[in-house]
């Protein structure tokens, strides 16, 4: 399992379980880790390409098609996306299929814990998770054209004040890498270790 494949193609893990976790590719490592730790052998994982994060308008249709495709093979499907910029459209898809999804506006919120995140007043913070720190070029630099036009940086990030790295794992190498990303964007750096936050409880509720 490499990050580039998760970004562009997603992942199909083992089959034959009772419950399918239909997830964003950016969450694959965390979900597989939770499955392993908790011995949720009855849960299979299918991830959509993580790059959909950059095109949230495409998420509802992609999830809709995946649910339709896998529905017959499972007792239940749990969608491991939050709203993720779909403006409620993903919730409508899930409701139409009578399946549940993760609560909250996005992964930054549920990793931090939705209640704690909502209580924070951080409108000028730009967030990265473990996956996004590793895939920074694919998710930030290239889609925004900063590889070709670095001079556009302040038009995109001029109103931000800090980059917050929400770490799921404790990895000094990733912290150092996140710091270089902050410097590249001209932002102050803050590291908060969140672990898996509400993701762990959301999956536990389905297990």
CB of 84 to another protein, least distance (A): 9
Q: Which is nearer to another protein, 152 or 176 (CB)?
A: 152
Q: Does 88 bind another protein (CB under 8 A)?
A: yes
Sites for another protein among residues 3-62 (CB under 8 A): 56
Structure-block tokens of residue 34:
């939770």
Binding residue for another protein, selected from 1, 73, 155, 183, defined by CB under 8 A = 155
3-state secondary structure the chain: CCHHHHHHCCEECCCCCCEEEEEEHHHHHHHHHHHHHHCCCCEEEEEECHHHHHCHHHHHHHHHHHHHHHHHHCCEEEEECCCCCCCCHHHHHHHHHCCEECCCCCHHHHHHCHHHHHHCCCCCEEEECHHHHHCHHHHHHCCCCCCCCHHHHHHHHCCCCEEEEEECCCCHHHHHHHHHHHHHHCCEEEEEECCCHHHHHHHHHHC
CB of 123 to another protein, least distance (A): 5
Which of these segments, 30-38, 147-155, 167-175, 189-197, binds another protein (CB under 8 A)?
A: 147-155
Binding residue for another protein, selected from 105, 113, 171, 195, defined by CB under 8 A = 105
Q: Which is nearer to another protein, 86 or 129 (CB)?
A: 86
Q: Does 144 bind another protein (CB under 8 A)?
A: yes
Q: Does 150 bind another protein (CB under 8 A)?
A: no
User: Where on the chain is the footprint of another protein (CB under 8 A)?
Assistant: 56, 83, 85-88, 105, 123-124, 144-146, 148-149, 152, 155-156, 159-160
């Amino acid at each position: 399992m490499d990050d580039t494949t998760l970004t562009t193609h997603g992942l199909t893990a083992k089959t034959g379980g009772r419950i399918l976790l239909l997830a964003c590719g950016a969450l694959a490592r965390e979900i597989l880790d939770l499955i392993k730790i908790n011995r949720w052998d009855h849960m299979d994982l299918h991830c959509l390409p993580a790059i959909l994060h950059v095109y949230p308008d495409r998420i509802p249709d992609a999830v809709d098609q995946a649910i339709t495709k896998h529905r017959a093979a499972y007792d239940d499907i749990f969608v491991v996306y939050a709203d993720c910029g779909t403006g409620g459209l993903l919730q409508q898809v899930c409701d139409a299929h009578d399946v549940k999804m993760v609560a909250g506006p996005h992964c930054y919120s549920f990793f931090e814990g939705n209640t704690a995140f909502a209580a924070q007043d951080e409108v000028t913070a730009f967030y990265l998770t473990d996956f996004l720190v590793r895939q920074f070029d694919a998710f930030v630099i290239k889609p925004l054209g900063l590889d070709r036009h670095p001079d556009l940086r302040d038009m995109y990030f001029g109103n931000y004040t800090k980059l917050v790295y929400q770490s799921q794992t404790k990895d000094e190498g990733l912290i150092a890498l996140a710091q270089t990303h902050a410097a590249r964007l001209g932002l102050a750096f803050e590291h908060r270790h969140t672990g898996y936050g509400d993701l762990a409880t959301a999956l536990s509720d389905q297990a």
